[in-house]
Structure formats: C-alpha cells, structure tokens
Amino acid sequence: MNDSPRSETPALPTDDLPLSGITVVELGDSASAPFAGHVLAGLGAQVWKVERPTGDSSRSWGPSQWRGDGAAFHAINRGKRMVRIDIKDPAELAKLHRLIVEHADVFVHNLRPGTSAKYGLDAATLRAAKPSLIHCELGAFGHVGPLNAEPGYDPLMQAFAGIMSLTGEADGPAVRAGVSIVDFGTGMWSVIGILAALVRRDRSDAGASVNSSLLETAIAWNTIAIAGYNADGNPGARHGSGVSFIVPHRAFPTSDGDLIVSCANDELFAKLAAALGHPEWARDPGLATNAARLENRGECERLIGEVLLTDTRARWRDVLSASGIPAADVQTTPELVAHEQTAALEIIGTPSDDDGDIGTVGMPLSFDGVRPAALHSARAIGADDDALNRLLRS
C-alpha cells in the first residue's frame, strides 16, 4: 500500500481529456484487451466493460487480493462501467449488439479465434451495421497465417518470438520478463491503432478494422535482435542485466546492493573510468571504444565490478551522478513505491472517489503538465447492468 498523503497536484477532469465523448465497448478478458480499455478510459473515454457471468479471469488471479478480487484486476480495470452479458444467450447477445451499434465509437475484444464471427461480433458484421465503427481485435498469433487459430498467452509469445532466448544469465536457462510486457504492449499498440483510426474518421467519417496480436508485439519488441540477425547472422545471446550491443550497460554488485551503470558512448565510458579512479582505461585500446569493449566484455566488466564492490550503492550512485554517468539502483517494488522520485511524480495513489482503496498506478503521461485524474475503482460484476438497461430503453 502507498501510505503517502493524497496528491495536491491538479488533475484533469474526464471532460477535459482528449477522448471525452468517445464511447468504447470492451469485451476483454485477462490482460491485453482490458489494458487497452484501461488506457482508453484514462484518456477520457467512457468504457463499457462486458464480462461473462462469472467475470473476467483476472478477478481470480493471485496471490494478492483486494475486496474479493485479484489485485491484478483492480490494476487494469479502473474507470470502466461493468456490465454482465452472456453472449451465448441470444437475448443477451442482442443487447450487446445494440450497445455497440447504437452507442459505441470503438469495440475492442480479445475473443478466441473464430468466436467473434460465431456471435456476429466480427469486423465485417458490425461495420456493415455501423460503418463508422472502429473495430479492434487483439489476437494471439495474428489474424492470418497457419497458427492464427491457436490460443496464446504472454509467456508463450516471449518464448516463440525469441525474447526468452535473450533473457537471463549467459550460463543459465532462458527466462521470461518478470512483467507482462507482451500483454500490455499489445494493449498499447491497439490503443495506438484506435487513436490513429479515430483521427482518420474525423477526416472521412469511415471506421476501421484494427488488428493487433501478442506475437506481433513480441516480434516488435525484438526488433534490434532481428535487425542484427538479418545483418550478419548473429542470433544474439543472453547477457543477464546487460545488452548485446553496449558495454558497460548492466547491473554491478556494490558492497550493499546492485547498481545499473550505462555508458552508451565512449565519452561516457571515459567519464566512468575517471570517476572510478582509473582514467587509464579510456586510453587502453582494448577498452577505449565500444567495439573494443564488446570484444573484451568479460575483462571490462570485471575491472568495473572490482571497483564498485569496494563501497556502497548510495556512494557510487552519488559519485557517478556527479560525473553525469547514468546509474540507478536495482530496486524492489517496495523501494520504488517509497522513493521520493516516485512520490514527486504522484503517479501512484488512490482513486479520486475512494480514499480507502488500493493504491494503483495512474496514467504515465500528462497534458500541458497535468496528469489525468485518477480513475474510479474497479467495480463488481454487473455493477452497471441497470445503467445499461436504462441506456438501451432511452
């Protein structure tokens, strides 16, 4: 929990946000489509989240729970109207069709392959009924190709797209990133596509069919390694906290914790050498250039590591900062939440309508220097069923 005082910084009300007046229907489950809906809500859209009668899968995710639902659900489902619709029931499905066709600007879903067409929720059907609709489908392996009908999740795509082959220690097994970078990235790419389609619709009144997928996102995140392979056949390798193309650019242990040190060019390396008391490193032909350091990665990292072990993380961070060298503590989540820089950004807090709620992350952007207001709490299954019925009767 974040026990810091509530923010006194002004926040943009929903009516002043860029997507104010836009209505989104999200038929999303788990992470990717719900994250897209969460971002759209944060940008001011009215988002109707449609859940099956048993609710979104993430309501049951653990181990952390809040008010009977998984903390993960609260993290990415704030600011939405929650309605319960069983699309297998013809009457309920008809209600969903009416909501989309009569009221939605955008429809977002991550239904299993083939399911959208089965229920008339595919782009062709819905856009025939409403040509101005922006229909966004988030798939697993993509909407074409021999695997397009296969289901998929974040770790599968990190594996399939080669990300795991590049993640982990050189002498250890391949591992996945500790956060759902593919799920959330697919949500972000979908939002980018939706925003671009909204801009085009303003010019032409035409809707769009937007497709994104977990695999395409994972491939996009692997873009540098793919370029390297296509250039010279190098498949890449695991470098722990480091990267394949810059040295030094990794975590080093100090006497009391780990510190990331990054020298993206030779000038920074020369400053690092001087700050560590070894200006001669910058004159050594085996270390002076990034190409040389890549060739002699082990020796370069050994020399730096030996010096950094002689003092504390805080002292070395101060020394490197004074020399203009990028460095950062390898922090735990509690350390991040408690850090004064995090507090200054006021990005973690409680929703504006409920001081006793779980502390979650706000929108990671600002408009004219002002962050959008915190979204209201994630609600119970079907909390807005009555509101939907009133809307469809009006």
Q: What amino acid positions are annotated as catalytic residues?
A: 183
| 36, 237, 300 from 164: Cα distances, Å | 24, 10, 26
250 φ, ψ (degrees, to nearest 5): -160, 180
Peptide bond before residue 63 is cis, with ω within 30 degrees of 0: yes
User: CA-CA distance, 14 to 371, in Å (whole number)?
Assistant: 11
Structure-token match 């639902």, residue found: 69
User: CA-CA distance, 214 to 222, in Å (whole number)?
Assistant: 13
Whether the Cβ atoms of residue 273 and residue 279 lie closer than 8 Å to each other: yes
| 26, 216, 221 from 39: Cα distances, Å | 12, 20, 20
Name the H helices within 69-180: 71-76, 90-103, 115-118, 123-129, 154-160
Structure-token match 């769009």, residue found: 208
Structure-token match 């914790």, residue found: 257
Comparing CA positions, the residue from 113, 153, 170, 104 lying closest to residue 131 is 104
The two three-digit tokens of residue 382, written as one number: 């079907």
- Dihedral of alpha carbons 199, 204, 206, 212, sign: negative
Whether the Cβ atoms of residue 91 and residue 98 lie closer than 8 Å to each other: no
The residue type of 292 is: A
Which residues sit opposite 372 in a β-bridge? 12
**Residue 187: alpha-carbon gap to chain centroid:** 7
- Dihedral of alpha carbons 307, 311, 316, 317, sign: positive
User: CA-CA distance, 265 to 97, in Å (whole number)?
Assistant: 56
